[in-house]
Structure formats: C-alpha cells, structure tokens
A and B are shown apart, each in its own frame.
Chain A
Amino acid sequence: MEADLRPRPVASTAAAGSTPPPRRPRSGWRDRISRVEVRWSPYLFIVPFFVIFAVFGLFPLVYTAYVSLHDWTITGAGEFVGLDNYVTLFGDPDFWNSVYNTLGMLVLATVPQLLMALVLASLLNQRLRGVTFLRMGVLLPIVTSVAAVGIVFSQVFDRDAGMVNGLLGLVNVDAVDWRADKWSSWSAIATMVNWRWTGYNALIYLAAMQAIPRDLYEAATVDGAGKVRQFWSITVPNIRPAIVFTVIMSTIAGMQLFTEPLIFGQGSFAISGGSLRQFQTVSMYMFEKAFRDFDYGYGSAVAWMIFLLITVLGVVNFLITRRSR
C-alpha cells in the first residue's frame, strides 16, 4: 500500500514544484493543479495512517463485540448466541478470580510505585551534581527488556535459591514459597512492576515540580513551614495534573498486566498463573481462553470485560480526583 500511495505526492511535487516563480505568468492548468493539490494533499497525508489503522486497529476492536455474541471456535463462526458468553462469564469463578488477582496486583504495584516516585522526584528536585547521571540511573529499569525483568525477579524470588529468601534467612524468617500463595506471588510480581516504573514516574513528577515557582517555597520558609509541610502543601497540590496522569496510565497498564506474571509462572502452569491460578491476570485468562482453548467467542467476551473494567476504574479515578480538589 505504500507503493500505491507514495508516488502521488511525489508526482504532484514535480508538477507544482517546477512551477516557476511569479515572473512568468502561470498558465491556467498549473494554477488549477496547485489548487487541487492544496485541497487534497492533506487527505493523502493521513490516508496511510487511517487505512492501516482502520484495518488492523479499529476493525478488530469493533469486531471483538460481534465475535463475543457468537459461539465461535477455531473451526469458525458458530451460531449467534446473544449474551450467552457474558452470562457464562458472570458465573465463571476463574474469571472473577483473575479480576481479583489483577486488582490486587494493581494496588500493590501502583500505590508504592507512585509514592516512591514522589519521594524520588522531590529528592532529584534539589540542587545536585551529576543531574544527568542520576536521571539515567533511575531510568535504567525501563530499558531492561520486559521478559528479562521477569527472569531476574523469578530467580530473586525463588523458594530455594532466591536472594529474598536468603535475606529473610539472615533475620531468621522462614523461607517463603513465593509462587504458592496469592499474597506472596502478587507481592513478587508487583515488585517487578514497581521496580520497572518508579523512575519513569519520578521523572514525570520532576518535570512538574520544576515548573513550580521558587518563590512559593521561599515564602513558605519565611512563614516557618518545614520541608515536609512544604512538600504536602505546595509540591503535591501543584503537581496534581501529573499525579492524575500517572494514576490513570498505571491503572490502564496494570489492568493489562501479562508478561511479568507469565514469566514468573515458569513451566507448564505459566498461562494459568500457577497451579491454583493464584496469580492469573484477566489478560492471561483472555489469552488462555482464546489461544489455548481456542474459544474465540468467550475470549472476546473477556476482552470486553477488560475494557469495561478499565473504563469503570477510569471513571472512579476521575470522580475521586475531582472530589479531592
């Protein structure tokens, strides 16, 4: 499709580009070409985007709804079943378990991450030497390839050989089988997410903090407000938009958590999030239904529920942040 589209603007370039400067009077047809060119080239510019986007982006989104209303498997479309898939889904304990797991990890990953990012950003906002070095340092985690993060932390949280259990042993705490239970596996997975994204969020906060006028702090100091008081009464309210942005982005990302728990799972129970589904997320459940059980209709219903959950959480976020204004 590129080959089909590109020659046209180039061709019109040649036509209009060779139009001589006004010294020679323009002939009528050249004028007309250039008017047509000005009018239609914007569409040519956006067409490549919209064609690919429509076929591989928008269409699948809409079609997911259609598929979810059918008894659809790998052998092809079956009959229209209305909302049957959704009815089954609402009574499906494995689905609700995956929702519960996802929300649990979302809280464990988002709250500490954003709090640590706030602290880190306010530290970075002081006068410091080696600013670039420090900023690159806190960003190292997001340049670690995502499956690599999963592999490293799977070992760090290993029951027998893991470093965390080793450290716990130093303070006489018994080794934890991190994969075995909900809370332990959630914590391990949330640690990966926290580690990977804290620095990124800190830089977003830092950018917002640098836009706060210095004299606000000077005035507060004159009034006798301490550093902590200044942080909560000046810094936090002033970077509110950045906080809202990071909360929403982390929520959307958290609802789609997939790679980290999958790698953490190891072995044959990977996609089900452990032998008892103790850390299976909704994304993993959708993947299991669609690409392991080949139940496309049911998988599509799960996909729509993910979307619905994200929307609901978005609205909740919005209402909370608006009320706390």
Chain B
Amino acid sequence: MRKTQPLLHATLLVGIALSAFPLYWLFVVATRSNDVVGDWPPPLAPGPNLWDNVGRLFAAEDANFLLGMWNSLLTSAVVTVSVVFFSSLAGFAFAKLKFRGRNGLLLVILATMMIPVQMGIIPLYMIMVELGWQNRMEAIIVPALVSAFGVFLMRQYAEQAVPDELIEAARIDGCSTFRIFWSIVLPALRPGAAVLALTTFMGTWNEFLWPLAVLEADNPTVQFSLSQLSTTYYTDYTLMFTGALVATVPLLLVFLAFGRQIIGGIMEGAVKA
C-alpha cells in the first residue's frame, strides 16, 4: 500500500492539466493581441497586452462591462446574505420547532425543489412588468431572496448540528425563540451556512437565462455583458477572453479562499449542481 504509484500520479496530473488548461488558455489569450490568436502552434505563454485589453473591455460600449460587474457583485452579495439568513431561520423552525402543518409545508418545499426555473419564467416576467421592474436589479434580486433548496439544506444541517437539550435549557432560562435562534442556533449552523453562502454566491453570479429575459443591454449582469461581447465583438477574441477572465476572477478568489469548505460541502451532498 505504501509504495508510490507513478502511473496513478501521472494519470491524475494529466486530468488536472485538462481541467486547468481552458482556464490557463483564457488567461493567455487575455494577455495577447488579436493577431496571434489564430496562430499555429498557438501561443502558450502570456503576453504583455493584458492591461490594454482590460482598458478596451471597459471602454467597449455595447457591453457595459463595469456596470455588469457592479450589478453582479451587488446582486450576488444581497442574495447570498438574504438566502443564508432566511434559510437558517426557516430551516431551524422546520428542524427543531413544533408547529401545526410543519410536515405538509416541508413537503411543499421538497416537491418544488427540483422544478426547473424556466417553468415559471413567463409569469415572473409579467409580474415584473406589473411592478415596473423590467431592466432593474430588483427583478433579479427579489425573486432570489429565498431558496427552497437552502431551507431544505439548513433543515438537514440544523437537525444534526443543534442539540435539543441546548434549546430546552435556553427555554427554561427564559430565552425567546428568536433569541435562541440568534445566540445558539446561528453559531452552530455556521459551517452549513458557509457552504450555502458560497454556492449561492456562485449560482447568482452565473445566473443567465432570467437576466437575459428581464434586463436590457444598458443595465446588464456580468454574464449578460459576456453574451453581449460574444454577439457583438465575436471576431475580437482577446476582448471576449479578457471579459471572460475578469468575470471569473471573483469566483476564483472565492474558491481560493474557501476551496476546502466547497469541497467539504460537495462531498456531504450539500452543493447543488
């Protein structure tokens, strides 16, 4: 068992190289100028043009890239905080509190968890028209403030992470339910909440179909900006690649900082595709 297995390591390294290569290629092209993109063999080392390209990216009128980045950061941050808070609150209630209709309501959540978003997108759009929220960030943020999957996840987590005795003891001491939630449950839920936060952030950042339906090109999210780049400037590879790179940087930073938690979350089945 102890002997080193060079073949195994080599195979794995090839696998990792394959999974990292497109990202590396993204970086290489983003640092190059357009005249080398079609070259064969392709350039494999970074060039000097990154800042030029970033400047061109921010100046590209049809893409509104900076605004797209800002909108996505804002949306992802607000949605993440909200989903984590309301999911913890409801998840705790479903896991640890007794009330009438609990099982029935939980069943509603379970049943709707797997239904694709596209299903309701047309009426959702009509609601936004009624509210006057077309082309506004409210349209992206408000429907995403809560998540059925999040409630389910936090319920599962609270079930095993919060001992009933602790809640009983706090009750006897005269704590209100919200106080119990805030001072006892929320700290205990922190690891689960971290995983939910990370995946919610990444999911919101990658949201595409709904922004494309309800927003216009002059007020986009970052994925919308990228699709604008790819339809308007599709011959300008370095510009598109620079956009794709800049749009990936926030996710990479999150991943570098919290990679272990994300891996732990996936392996516990807590991260939805």
Point out the residue from B244, B263, B269, B271 that lies within 8 Å of A145, measured CB to CB: B244
Q: Does B248 contact A (CB under 8 A)?
A: yes
Q: Does B12 contact A (CB under 8 A)?
A: yes
Determine if B174 and A126 form an interchain contact, defined as CB atoms under 8 angstroms apart. Answer: no
Q: Does B231 contact A (CB under 8 A)?
A: yes
**Quick one: given A42-B177, A49-B86, are A152 and B241 in contact (CB under 8 Å)?**
yes
State the CA gap A300–B268 with chains docked (Å).
36
Give the one of B2, B15, B37, B243 with max A CB within 10 A. B15
Point out the residue from A141, A199, A299 that lies within 8 Å of B122, measured CB to CB: A299
Determine if B230 and A307 form an interchain contact, defined as CB atoms under 8 angstroms apart. Answer: no
**Quick one: given A61-B112, A138-B19, are A207 and B145 in contact (CB under 8 Å)?**
no
Q: Does B190 contact A (CB under 8 A)?
A: no
Determine if B93 and A42 form an interchain contact, defined as CB atoms under 8 angstroms apart. Answer: yes
Determine if A139 and B93 form an interchain contact, defined as CB atoms under 8 angstroms apart. Answer: no
State the CA gap A41–B119 with chains docked (Å).
33
Determine if B145 and A52 form an interchain contact, defined as CB atoms under 8 angstroms apart. Answer: yes
Q: Does B92 contact A (CB under 8 A)?
A: yes
Determine if B89 and A48 form an interchain contact, defined as CB atoms under 8 angstroms apart. Answer: yes
State the CA gap A161–B240 with chains docked (Å).
15
Q: Does A291 contact B (CB under 8 A)?
A: yes
Q: Does B66 contact A (CB under 8 A)?
A: no
State the CA gap A156–B23 with chains docked (Å).
12
Q: Does B56 contact A (CB under 8 A)?
A: no
A83-141: which residues lie under 8 A (CB-CB) from chain B?
A: 120, 123-124, 126-128, 132, 134-141
Q: Does B208 contact A (CB under 8 A)?
A: yes
Q: Does A231 contact B (CB under 8 A)?
A: no
CB distance from A297 to the nearest CB of B (A): 9
B90-133 vs A, Cβ < 8 Å mask (1 yes, 0 no): 10111001110010010010001011111111111111000000
Question: Considering only CB atoms and an 8 Å cut-off, how many residues of chain A contact the other chain?
Answer: 106
Determine if B93 and A46 form an interchain contact, defined as CB atoms under 8 angstroms apart. Answer: yes
Query: What chain A residues lie within 8 Å of B205 (beta carbons)?
Result: 145
Determine if A134 and B16 form an interchain contact, defined as CB atoms under 8 angstroms apart. Answer: yes
Determine if B38 and A161 form an interchain contact, defined as CB atoms under 8 angstroms apart. Answer: yes
CB distance from A177 to the nearest CB of B (A): 15
CB distance from B192 to the nearest CB of A (A): 16
Query: What chain B residues lie within 8 Å of A136 (beta carbons)?
Result: 255, 259, 263
Chain A residues touching B, majority SS: helix
**Quick one: given A48-B89, A58-B112, are A128 and B123 in contact (CB under 8 Å)?**
no
B124-144: which residues lie under 8 A (CB-CB) from chain A?
A: 124-127, 142-143
Q: Does A57 contact B (CB under 8 A)?
A: yes
**B260 to chain A: closest residue by CB:** A132
B243-273: which residues lie under 8 A (CB-CB) from chain A?
A: 243-245, 247-248, 251-252, 254-255, 259-260, 262-263, 266-269, 271-273
B202-246: which residues lie under 8 A (CB-CB) from chain A?
A: 202, 205-206, 208-209, 212-213, 222-223, 226-227, 229-231, 234, 237, 240-241, 243-245
Determine if B226 and A263 form an interchain contact, defined as CB atoms under 8 angstroms apart. Answer: yes
**B83 to chain A: closest residue by CB:** A49
Determine if B15 and A148 form an interchain contact, defined as CB atoms under 8 angstroms apart. Answer: no
Determine if A123 and B231 form an interchain contact, defined as CB atoms under 8 angstroms apart. Answer: no
Q: Does A29 contact B (CB under 8 A)?
A: no
Point out the residue from B15, B202, B255 that lies within 8 Å of A123, measured CB to CB: B15
**Quick one: given A42-B93, A60-B121, A145-B247, are A13 and B178 in contact (CB under 8 Å)?**
yes
Interface-forming stretch among A182-190, A254-262, A315-323? A254-262
Q: Does A28 contact B (CB under 8 A)?
A: no
Determine if B267 and A50 form an interchain contact, defined as CB atoms under 8 angstroms apart. Answer: no
Q: Does B188 contact A (CB under 8 A)?
A: no
Q: Does B41 contact A (CB under 8 A)?
A: yes
Q: Give me 15 A-to-B residue pairs in the complex whose CB atoms sit less than 8 angstroms apart, sorted by A's number.
A: A21-B173, A41-B176, A48-B146, A52-B143, A59-B127, A61-B112, A67-B122, A140-B255, A151-B241, A195-B19, A203-B266, A263-B226, A287-B209, A306-B119, A310-B116
Binding site for A on B (CB under 8 A): 1-2, 5, 8-9, 11-12, 15-16, 18-20, 22-23, 25-26, 29, 37-38, 40-42, 86-87, 89-90, 92-94, 97-99, 102, 105, 108, 112, 114-127, 142-143, 145-146, 148, 151, 171, 173-179, 181-182, 202, 205-206, 208-209, 212-213, 222-223, 226-227, 229-231, 234, 237, 240-241, 243-245, 247-248, 251-252, 254-255, 259-260, 262-263, 266-269, 271-273
Q: In the complex, given contacts A67-B122, A132-B259, A263-B227, what are 18 additional A-B residue pairs having Cβ atoms less than 8 angstroms apart? A: A56-B142, A59-B120, A64-B123, A136-B259, A141-B22, A143-B251, A143-B255, A147-B226, A151-B241, A151-B244, A155-B29, A160-B38, A166-B42, A169-B40, A249-B272, A290-B213, A303-B122, A307-B116
Q: Which 5 A-B pairs have the closest CB atoms?
A: A60-B120, A148-B244, A56-B143, A161-B38, A207-B267
